[in-house]
Amino acid sequence: MQGIENILITLKGKTMKKTILAALYVCITVCLFAGPVNAAEIKVGVIDTQKIVSDSKAGKAAQVVFNKDLETKQVSYNAKQKELQTIQDELATKAKDMTATAYSEKTAKYSKVKKELERMKSEIEEDLKVRNTELNRKLYTEIAAIVSDYCKKEKFTLILEKTYVAAYDGAVDITDKIIQLYDAAK
């Protein structure tokens, strides 16, 4: 060890010393832990998170809640759309019978309702996007906890998400087991 220190002392520049020390530290760490890692049995699993979300009881319940929210918003949007269509039809069929003031008022109302409808659409889309993100975050957090516990309990070395794996043997797919555990936890 003193020989290495003497070499480092003779090197010029602090960055060179830091770089060599860091490299030396990494090499020693790798050498120390390489033996035990190679000796251990490697156990790998693969999960399909989308399938867990869509097939689990909690995922299906979250989808029902989301769809109910979507339907409620769709009803109010459709009502506003119908109001706009009614005004448009009145303008198309009764425009020649209207006074200039009545036509101007109806056109202004049409523009106002059209802007409200566009704003409503944007708000609904943004709200649903936020709601979907919140539901998915909650589900993914719960799923991650189940997977982590399962990993420790069954002594897996690594559990990968299916979308990030180029190819794998179906025997390492533990998705159905995770769904069972997730449903049992709920």
Q: pLDDT tens for residues 27-78? A: 344 444 444 545 468 899 999 999 999 999 999 999 999 999 999 999 999 9
Residue 81 contacts residue 89 (beta carbons within 8 Å) = no
Q: What is the pLDDT of residue 20?
A: 45
How many angstroms separate the CA atoms of 46 and 44, rounded? Answer: 7
Intervals of the chain under pLDDT 50 = 1-35, 37, 39
| Three-class DSSP category at 1 | coil
- The percent of the chain in helix, strand and coil, each rounded to the nearest 5, is 85, 5, 10
Q: What is the pLDDT of residue 40?
A: 62
Q: What is the pLDDT of residue 28?
A: 45
Q: What is the pLDDT of residue 8?
A: 38
How many angstroms separate the CA atoms of 47 and 50, rounded? Answer: 9
Q: What is the pLDDT of residue 14?
A: 44
Phi and psi angles of residue 13, each rounded to the nearest 5 degrees, phi first? 95, 135
β-strands 44-47, 158-161 pairing: parallel
Q: What is the pLDDT of residue 150?
A: 96
CATH class name, domain 41-185: alpha beta
Q: Residue 172's closest CA among 185, 158, 184, 152?
A: 158
